[in-house]
């Protein structure tokens, strides 16, 4: 699975510690998601270059089995574990089905990926994950959940949602993108950052204004004479709550604008991970453990009760068996006695007959 040979060896990062403790900080997992063509791969390439410049090169994992070429050196590549084209042939699948199956096959080796990451956790500050262009393949598949939840349980994990800013300048496309972002946020509940990419083409100011000022977005929608205008208007009300707690960063993967702001947001999101997600996760783990212990105790109690019931049934059966056995023995004794009596009677009968025949023969002799 590991293809460490392709990546340049990292120079050791400066020893980082949490502000509260002297324990070494765990690397941050940055999971990059986004619609096809939003710029995920270019974004990772830019972040990789930036981090190399900061003398803290990241550890990169590619989770896209269908990608042709990667513009960055990658440490773990799904393509080394699963051959996407072979999967298509072997299972007679189309391209999307093959991507899902490849990811499912890869997620079966998640423990190996985790042990590789664990081995490298002291050498790196960041683990970057590139995901397939077909976003739903990752976000709504079992494998995506397994990978994300495993990472989230072990390392500070941040979901980064890349948005194509020029395409989102249309309010309806903007709304659709935001709804997708909300669905991912509520699915994983991990700290979340929206990267408004391609700001070299169009500045992301309009998006920030739409998010901050509801009226402004409403008037932008009014200008779109579409059948979905009414729906968008109502949905924007729902999204207002989501916008209030959202981290949003303008970024250009082409020029590298926004790198510093992005890493400021990552630090903020790590804080949220430690103080919100991790706390909730630990609580959930405790509850789960308690549920399992309760179930175990219940099963044990039931087993003991079953054993006691069985024991009493066995002893009852034994008593009944003994009773029957004793009765049989008594019957045998009676039979023996009867046999003896019969023998005695036969003997007496025999001797009486002998006496009689002797007496008769004596009488006949006297008469003659
Ligand atoms: N101008 C500009 N173009 C960009 C930027 N980021 C990405 N692109 C271009 O957008 C196109 C798609 O970029 P990718 O990085 O391949 O996007 P992706 O999301 O990884 O694509 P898939 O994995 O196929 O879904 C490419 O032509 C990039 O050059 C950016 O910040 N500015």
DSSP code string of 235-298: HHHHHHHHHHT-EEEE--TTT-TTHHHHHHHHHHHHHHIIIIIHHHHHHHHHHHHHHHHHHHHH
Q: Is 37 in the pocket of ligand 1 (CB under 6 A)?
A: yes
> What whole-number distance in Å separates Cα of residue 210 and Cα of residue 168?
11
Supply the pLDDT for residue 4: 43
Name the residue among 3, 1, 163, 134 with its Cα closest to residue 70. Answer: 3
Alpha-carbon dihedral angle through residues 90, 91, 93, 99, given to the nearest 10 degrees: -90
> What whole-number distance in Å separates Cα of residue 226 and Cα of residue 219?
13
Supply the pLDDT for residue 223: 81
SS3 of residue 83 by DSSP: coil
Residue located nearest, by CA, to atom 3 of ligand 1:
198
Q: What is the DSSP letter of 224?
A: S
Query: Can you read off the two tokens belonging to residue 286?
Result: 């405790």
Walk along the chain (368 residues) and give the pLDDT tens digit of each residue.
544 434 444 444 443 444 444 556 899 999 999 999 999 999 999 999 999 999 999 999 999 999 988 999 999 999 999 999 999 999 999 998 999 999 999 999 999 999 999 999 999 999 999 999 888 888 888 899 999 999 999 999 999 999 999 999 998 899 889 999 988 988 888 999 999 999 999 999 999 999 988 888 888 888 877 777 777 777 877 788 788 888 999 999 999 999 999 999 999 999 999 999 889 888 888 898 999 999 999 999 988 888 888 777 777 777 777 777 776 665 555 666 666 667 777 777 777 777 777 766 665 555 54
- For a mutational test of ligand 1's pocket, the pick from 32, 35, 37, i.e. the residue with the most ligand atoms closer than 8 A to its C-beta, is 37
Q: Is 81 in the pocket of ligand 1 (CB under 6 A)?
A: no
Distance from residue 164's CA to the centre of ligand 1 (Å): 9
Supply the pLDDT for residue 191: 94
Q: Is 253 in the pocket of ligand 1 (CB under 6 A)?
A: yes
Q: Is 250 in the pocket of ligand 1 (CB under 6 A)?
A: no
SS3 of residue 109 by DSSP: coil
Interface predicted TM-score (ipTM) over 0.95: yes
For 4-13+22-287, which CATH superfamily applies?
P-loop containing nucleotide triphosphate hydrolases (3.40.50.300)
Q: Is 133 in the pocket of ligand 1 (CB under 6 A)?
A: yes
- For a mutational test of ligand 1's pocket, the pick from 32, 33, 35, 41, i.e. the residue with the most ligand atoms closer than 8 A to its C-beta, is 41
Supply the pLDDT for residue 367: 55
Is this structure's pTM higher than 0.80? no
SS3 of residue 155 by DSSP: coil
Q: Is 247 in the pocket of ligand 1 (CB under 6 A)?
A: no
Residue located nearest, by CA, to atom 14 of ligand 1:
39
Identify the helix (H) or strand (E) that includes residue 1. none
Supply the pLDDT for residue 24: 63
Supply the pLDDT for residue 152: 93
Supply the pLDDT for residue 5: 39
Q: Is 40 in the pocket of ligand 1 (CB under 6 A)?
A: yes
Supply the pLDDT for residue 359: 65
Distance from residue 128's CA to the centre of ligand 1 (Å): 17
Q: Let me know how many helices (H) and strands (E) the chain has, helices first.
A: 13, 7
Supply the pLDDT for residue 17: 40
C-alpha separations of 60 from 30, 47, 73, 74, 271 in Å: 10, 11, 8, 5, 22
Name the residue among 47, 64, 48, 113 with its Cα closest to residue 252. Answer: 47
């Amino acid at each position: 699975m590991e293809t460490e040979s392709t990546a340049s060896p990292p120079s050791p990062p400066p020893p980082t510690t949490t502000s509260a403790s002297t324990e070494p900080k765990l690397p941050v997992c940055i999971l990059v998601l986004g619609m096809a063509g939003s710029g995920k791969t270019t974004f990772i390439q830019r972040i990789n270059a930036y981090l190399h410049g900061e003398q803290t090169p990241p550890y990169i994992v590619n989770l896209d089995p269908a990608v042709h070429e990667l513009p960055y050196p990658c440490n773990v590549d799904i393509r080394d574990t699963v051959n996407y084209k072979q999967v298509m042939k072997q299972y007679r699948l189309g391209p999307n089905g093959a991507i899902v199956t490849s990811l499912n096959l890869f997620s079966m080796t998640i423990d190996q990926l985790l042990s590789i990451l664990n081995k490298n956790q002291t050498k790196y500050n960041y683990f970057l994950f590139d995901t397939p262009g077909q976003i739903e393949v990752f976000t709504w598949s079992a494998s995506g959940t397994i990978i994300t939840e495993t990472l989230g349980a072990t390392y500070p994990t941040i979901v980064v949602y890349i948005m194509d800013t020029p395409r989102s300048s249309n309010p309806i496309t903007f709304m659709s993108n935001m709804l997708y972002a909300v669905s991912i946020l509520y699915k994983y509940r991990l700290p979340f950052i929206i990267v408004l990419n391609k700001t070299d083409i169009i500045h992301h100011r309009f998006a920030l204004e739409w998010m901050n000022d509801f009226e402004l977005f409403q008037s932008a929608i009014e200008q779109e004479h579409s059948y979905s205008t009414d729906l968008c208007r109502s949905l924007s009300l729902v999204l207002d709550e989501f916008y209030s707690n959202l981290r949003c960063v303008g970024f250009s993967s082409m020029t590298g604008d926004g790198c510093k702001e992005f890493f400021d947001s990552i630090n903020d999101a790590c804080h949220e991970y430690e103080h919100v997600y991790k706390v909730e996760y630990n609580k959930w783990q405790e509850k789960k453990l308690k549920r399992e212990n309760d179930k175990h105790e219940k099963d044990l109690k039931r087993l003991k009760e079953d054993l006691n019931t069985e024991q009493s049934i066995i002893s009852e059966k034994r008593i009944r068996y003994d009773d029957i056995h004793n009765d049989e023995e008594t019957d045998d004794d009676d039979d023996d006695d009867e046999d003896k009596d019969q023998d005695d009677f036969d003997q007496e009968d025999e001797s009486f007959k002998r006496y009689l025949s002797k007496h008769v023969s004596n009488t006949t002799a006297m008469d003659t």
